Amino acid sequence: MKILVISDIHANLSALDAVLSDAGSFDAVWFLGDLVGYGPDPNECIALVRELPNLVCLKGNHDAAALDEIDIDAFNSEARESVLWTRLSLTEDSLDFLKQQEAKRVIANVTLAHGSPRSPIWEYLLDTDTAAANFEHFETPFCFVGHTHVPVVFEEPGELSFTAGLMIPAPNTTIQLRPRSIINPGSVGQPRDRDPRAAYALFDPEALTLEYRRVAYDIASVQERMRAAQLPRRHIQRLAAGW
């Protein structure tokens, strides 16, 4: 069995198309949240994702913000501008789909959360100490998260350590996962690890392997659509550099 694990599409249809084309065949899809925000194609991305096979779809903080479920004062000014544009752009059908999603799910022996198992909407797992504190908030062998836009694997601290193990997977490699781990596949639509290529992973729940992949896409076309929509200049610029 092969599960496509994706996160943080952020309304970037070109990146999503490239990932789906590159991934080949898969049996199910786990999407870890933030379908919308930043990018110019929110309705198109929602329409495509909702048709993917055996979909499990989470709600991210930008999805919740687009639904006016969280206070956008916590966002910076450019992110707030993007949220307001997204709210005006979403169709009723798209809004209904986002409303149905949860920020955390447990599927078989895997926990899925957008931000973290402790705080699914907001918390960023950016360091080993924060990751270590989150292991007590899920009971399954594995937890997949998104939100940071950075691919990483955290392993549970041993008896003599309070800090989680850290591994940054190399692009286009397969790694053997060990219980217990927190895994982030990176971002499809807005990577922030200085690699502008779309990031995703293929998970084999029987072999417990993770194939981590990067794929190039037509960034210039996305930037042009963002300019036409008058979205924030900084969000347009960062796509080309992956920051």
What is the 3 state secondary structure string of 65-87? HHCCCCCHHHCCHHHHHHHHHHH
Q: What integer is the mean pLDDT of 140-161?
A: 93
Write the pLDDT tens digit of every residue in 164-213.
999 999 999 999 999 999 999 999 999 999 999 999 999 999 999 999 99
- What values do phi and psi take at 108, rounded to 5? 55, -115
Write the pLDDT tens digit of every residue in 50-80.
999 999 999 999 999 999 999 999 899 999 9
Write the pLDDT tens digit of every residue in 83-134.
999 999 999 999 999 999 999 999 989 999 999 999 999 999 999 999 999 9
pTM beyond 0.85: the answer is yes
What is the reported pLDDT for 55?
98
Q: Are 102 and 63 in contact (CB under 8 A)?
A: no
Q: Where are the domains of the chain?
A: 3-241
**7 pLDDT higher than 90:** yes
Query: Tokens 């055996």 correspond to what residue?
Result: 54
What is the reported pLDDT for 52?
98
What is the reported pLDDT for 35?
98
Structure tokens, 171 = 């692009």
**162 pLDDT higher than 90:** no
**Rounded-to-integer distance, Cα 19 and Cα 52, Å:** 13
- What does the radius of gyration of the chain's CA atoms come to, in whole angstroms? 17
Structure tokens, 55 = 């979909």
What is the reported pLDDT for 160?
63
- Fold for the domain defined by 3-241: Purple Acid Phosphatase; chain A, domain 2 (3.60.21)
**159 pLDDT higher than 80:** no
What is the reported pLDDT for 172?
94
**Rounded-to-integer distance, Cα 124 and Cα 145, Å:** 9
**1 pLDDT higher than 80:** yes
Instruction: Tell me the CA distances in angstroms from 221 to 166, 226, 239, one per residue in order.
Output: 35, 9, 11
% the chain with pLDDT above 70 = 100
Query: Tokens 């290529």 correspond to what residue?
Result: 197
List b or e across 69-98, with b for residues whose CB sees 16 or more CB atoms inside 10 angstroms.
ebebeebeeebebbbebbbebbeeebeebb
What is the reported pLDDT for 108?
82
**Rounded-to-integer distance, Cα 124 and Cα 233, Å:** 24
Instruction: Tell me the CA distances in angstroms from 44 to 90, 153, 180, 197, 212, one per residue in order.
Output: 10, 31, 36, 20, 25
Residue 132 CB burial class (10 angstroms; 0-12, 13-18, ≥19): buried
Q: Which residues make beta-bridge pairs with 143?
A: 111, 182
